Chains A and B, each alone.
Chain A
Amino acid sequence: MTERVVAITGIGTLTPAGRGTEALWSHLTSGHTCIRPIDPHVYFDPSKYACQEAGQVAPFSEPRVLMPEMMAQTDRYSQMALVAVLDALDRARLPTDFRVEDSPVRPERVALTVATVGAGWGYVEHEMQSLWTGGIGKLDRYGLTAGFPAGAQGHISIFFGVQGRTRTFISERAAGAHALIEGAKAIQRGDAEIVIAGGTEAPLTPLSWAAYQQYTGTGMHLGEGSTFLVLEEVEHARRRGIPLLAEIRGWSRGTNPSPLGSLEGPRKRLKGRGLAQAIYTALAQADVHPSAIDVLLPAGPALAEEDAAEQDAISSVFDRSSLPIVRPKMVLGHLLGAATATDVAVATLAIKRQTIPSAHDTLLSTDLRHTLILAGGSGGMHACLVLAKPGMI
């Protein structure tokens, strides 16, 4: 049996940079930050919070999926995800309902993985407020399913007719990598031909923001948004004549457990050894030497301790100072559950355009063949993905 290879054939993204890949690319190349003071008219009055800035998504609407009844029963985290998935499917020239007769793939062969950290807390807080101030009669019949972690998964699968595997990852900031890796594995194992994989996050609610503040203080800028990718088995994509944007060639997940007490802080400097090993594992799966990596997208900027550990790992694996590093989080803020999917989208665009996004929009003289995307999270979690230009064996 020949190995099943995973390609990316669609990208949908709605972030503080705007909607669509053009908006994402042009913001990254301009280098101007999207971090702004939190808008009290849209979110909440941030004056009592230590950090009062965030990456915010401008008002959006989409009559094809955000109909009034959909708006009424979903939280913002699902609404952004529905738009990102719609755009990703459009880009991959797939139907917006896999149940239609002329769909190029049966709905049971389409899977979905969703990453989020906080899910629909905005809706939950609203329900708590209603119950405590107005009594049981004020509770909303959509309250439970709009707010809980599997909410976006449910709405996406029902609207687009995804009948294969569906799963939501809530592994804090590593969730995004976990969702993409699970999607890639599902294709590799033969559980699906197409996986809609990505993440979504709406952290700008009073309780969520207060929770994050306790953990990140002012040391880490956060943002909201959603990015979804269409992962597709390479031969399946070729048969229907859709261009491959990039291939996912390697990955790994692991943990460098921190001492029990350090989760509560003060956080200790972490070691980079586990991550270095994980990078080697992913590179080995992709069958490339560290010198073949043309661009690196790190997990940071995140927390200082994590960034330091990551830098140790990068230095130990890549003994060159010239490795180009792209940091979308500097421009957008850390999009939490949506961060890794957004990084992978940027890496994919870099391969597609053969350009490193920077203020100078550097066109490379040599081939841009491989990119490495790192992810991390609390408690020493780490993960990585290796992307390759299509058709390189």
Chain B
Amino acid sequence: MGVVSPLGNSVKAFWDGLVSGCSVAKSLKDITHCDLFRLLGENEFASQVITEVEQFEEEAQQLPEQVRRRDRSVQFAVAAALQAVCDARLDGSSSSALHASWGIAFTTAVGAAVATEEAFCQATDCGTEVLDPAMLPDTFYLDWSCHTPALLLASLVNAHGPCTTISSACASGVDVIGHAYESIKDGDASVMLAVASEAPLAPTRFGGCDVIHCLSTGFNGQPKLASRPFDLRRSGFVMGEGAGALMLEEREHALARGAHIYAEITGFGLVSNATHMVSLKPAVAPHLVRAIKQAMSQAGIETVDYIQPHASSTAQNDETETRAIKKAFGEYAYAIPMSATKSMLGHALATAGFFGVMAAALSLERGIIHPTINYEEPDPLCDLDYVPNTARPFDGKSALVIASGFSGSHATLVLQKGREQ
């Protein structure tokens, strides 16, 4: 497992931050990594809150030079992935026969937002001139192509199996793990390095979300309170960034080498609601129910002990998701605790669902579930157990993770406690 996140750049920092329930959201004007917002001048974005990965420089220093030259999202991806490879302790057994069956599955929703917008500004004098190709950085292609992180990783870990990059908007983080899981189940690989990375904090991508009113506007003066899934005063999501990586390994392969097992993946669901590009109105709930049931039935279980919902803190998503969970589990829904990573981490698009899977796996392994923070005023339409504001002990054996995205995708994953732990 590996992570680069606004709560910190190690699994320990990520988990400690989630359990302690501290928000790291901050004002857009305090952004440190992207000068484009300042260059754009006085901005009137309706949302003024973000989360940002900090103190990444130390981590970045350890990356190969060819990676350090790349966009932030590429560096995040490689840094998180190398942590995961190291954590899995597979590097000691680096025979070429083993790597023949290694694969890479990467995802991003928007790719290298910062490097591409910087290059655009440089080559067009901030949009005022016809683009001059000679003004682009000379390896710009590698930032522009969303597949570069996967290729760098295939080279770095010498993976000879499938090397794919997929994108399903904000459902991507769960989808990519499902894709990697199926690659192992179908016998296409015995080890899959699944990675999600996103660094979308550049004016055009941020603005693209801002103009459709899906970003938080209610707490611009108090950033730490802005991301508040399921709370009555929620007003949208807080855009964030980061990367997550998981080494998935065929179970017998892992047991044979005595590997530490965080959790087992036992079910995956993927559906499209075919309703609307960006709306998550209650009418889409039956499709989310279908996605939940697909994963549950594949796992062969009737209920789950814990849910990591999409919980984006938008009015529509949180209501629709609550409705779908009640429909899927009936009265029992009230007994299932669910907590939202986005209340602390913000919404890192493709990486968001990935963070949810990591948090669920850590909960199963460590017997704690983290809180949903900023939960102050209950919304009558959102009346489940959201683990408000304080972490609690957990002895459950299974967890469901949900991610929903623009373009109408819903992806779900069931994790169960590792049986040999």
**Chain A residues near B (Cβ < 8 Å):** 44-45, 48-49, 73, 99, 107-108, 112, 117-118, 124-125, 127-133, 135-136, 139-145, 147-151, 153-155, 157-158, 160-172, 174-175, 178, 185, 189, 206-215, 253-261, 263-264, 274, 377-381
**Given A165-B270, A210-B131, A381-B163, A144-B405 contact (CB < 8 Å):** no
Per-residue interface assignment for chain B, residues 20 to 53, with 1 indicating a CB less than 8 Å from any chain A CB and 0 otherwise: 0000000000000000000010011100000000
Contact among A149, A166, A254, A261 for B162, CB-based, below 8 A:
A254
Q: Please state if A163 and B407 are interface contacts (CB–CB under 8 Å).
A: no
A144-B405 Cα distance, complex, nearest whole Å: 13
Interface string of B184-212 (1 = CB under 8 A from A): 00101000000000000001110111111
Given contacts A143-B207, A163-B271, 4 further A-B contacts (CB under 8 A): A128-B117, A139-B204, A143-B208, A260-B152
Q: List the A side residues contacting B160 at CB < 8 Å.
A: 254-257, 274
**Distance A257 CA – B186 CA, assembled complex (angstroms):** 22
| Cα(A357)–Cα(B116), bound, Å | 41
Instruction: Decide if B270 touches A99 in the complex (CB within 8 Å).
Output: no
* A127 surroundings in chain B (CB, below 8 A): 204, 207-208
- Please, how many angstroms separate the alpha-carbon atoms of A370 and B392 in the complex? 60
Give the total number of A-B pairs whose CB atoms are below 8 A apart.
255
Do B407 and A157 touch across chains, with their CB atoms under 8 A apart? yes
**A148 to B151, Cβ gap below 8 A?**
no
Q: Which residues of B contact A129 (CB under 8 A)?
A: 124, 127
Complex Cα–Cα for A160 and B408 (A): 13
Chain A residues contacting B117 (CB-CB under 8 Å) are: 128
- Complex interface: chain B residues within 8 A of A381 (CB): 151, 154, 163
Indicate if the CB atoms of B155 and A379 lie closer than 8 Å: yes
Name the contact of B175 in the complex, choosing from A45, A139, A167 (C-beta under 8 A): A167
Residues of A near B276 (CB, < 8 A) are 158
Q: With contacts A132-B40, A139-B208, A167-B175 known, is A48 near B274, CB below 8 A?
A: no
Q: Are B163 and A154 in contact (CB under 8 A)?
A: no
- Which 5 residue pairs spanning A and B have beta carbons closest together? A154-B407, A144-B208, A132-B127, A379-B151, A210-B133
Q: Are A136 and B45 in contact (CB under 8 A)?
A: yes
Name the residue of chain A whose CB is nearest to the CB of B209: A144
A261 in complex: contacting residue of B66, B159, B409, CB < 8 Å = B66
- Interface hub of B110, B151, B276 (most chain A Cβ within 10 A): B151
B270 touches A167 (CB 8 A): yes
Instruction: Give the chain B neighbours of A259 by CB distance below 8 A.
Output: 155
Q: Does B165 lie at the interface of the complex (its beta carbon under 8 Å from any beta carbon of A)?
A: yes
Assembled-state Cα–Cα distance A143/B166 (Å): 20
With a cutoff of 8 Å between Cβ atoms, the chain B residues found around residue A140 in the complex are: 211
Interface pair B162/A255, CB less than 8 Å apart = yes
Q: List the A side residues contacting B274 at CB < 8 Å.
A: 99, 107, 157-158, 160-163
User: B222 within 8 Å of A by Cβ?
Assistant: no
Contact B212 A379 (CB under 8 A): no
Chain B interface, DSSP helix/strand/loop, else mixed: mixed
- Give every chain A residue within 8 A of B212 (Cβ-Cβ): 141, 144
Asked whether B204 lies within 8 Å of A117 as measured between CB atoms, the reply is: no
Query: Given the complex of chains A and B, what is the CA–CA distance between A144 and B206 in angstroms?
Result: 9
The contact of A211 among B104, B144, B204, by CB within 8 Å, is B144
CA distance A166 to B348 in the complex (A): 21
Cα of A348 to Cα of B409 in the assembled complex, Å? 31
- Residue pair A145, B407 in contact (C-beta under 8 Å): yes
Interface residues of B in 200-238 (CB under 8 A from A): 203-205, 207-212
User: Is there contact, CB below 8 Å, between B144 and A153?
Assistant: no
CB <8 Å contact, B277 and A145: yes
- Other-chain residue from A135, A153, A209 in contact with B407 (beta carbon distance below 8 A): A153
Q: Decide: B45 and A255 in contact? CB cutoff 8 A.
A: no
What is the minimal beta-carbon distance from B234 to any residue of chain A, in angstroms?
Answer: 21
Contact residue among B45, B151, B165 (Cβ-Cβ distance under 8 Å from A170): B165
User: Cβ of A162 and Cβ of B207 under 8 Å apart?
Assistant: no
| B130 adjacent to chain A (CB < 8 Å) | yes
The verdict on B109 contacting chain A, using a C-beta distance below 8 Å, is yes
A256: B residues at CB distance < 8 A: 160
Interface: B128 (CB within 8 A) = yes
CA distance A99 to B275 in the complex (A): 11
Q: Is the CB of A128 within 8 A of B408?
A: no
Chain A residues lying within 8 Å of B116, measured Cβ to Cβ, are 124, 207
Name which residue of chain A comes closest to B142, CB basis.
A263
Bound form: Cα–Cα A153–B277 in Å = 10
Q: B61 interface residue, CB < 8 Å from A? A: no
Chain A residue nearest to B41 in the complex (CB): A135
Chain A CB within 8 A of B132 CB: yes
Is the CB–CB distance between A131 and B145 below 8 Å? no
In the complex, the answer to whether B168 meets A117 with C-beta atoms within 8 Å is no
Contacts of B64 in A (CB 8 A): 260
Contact B66 A150 (CB under 8 A): no
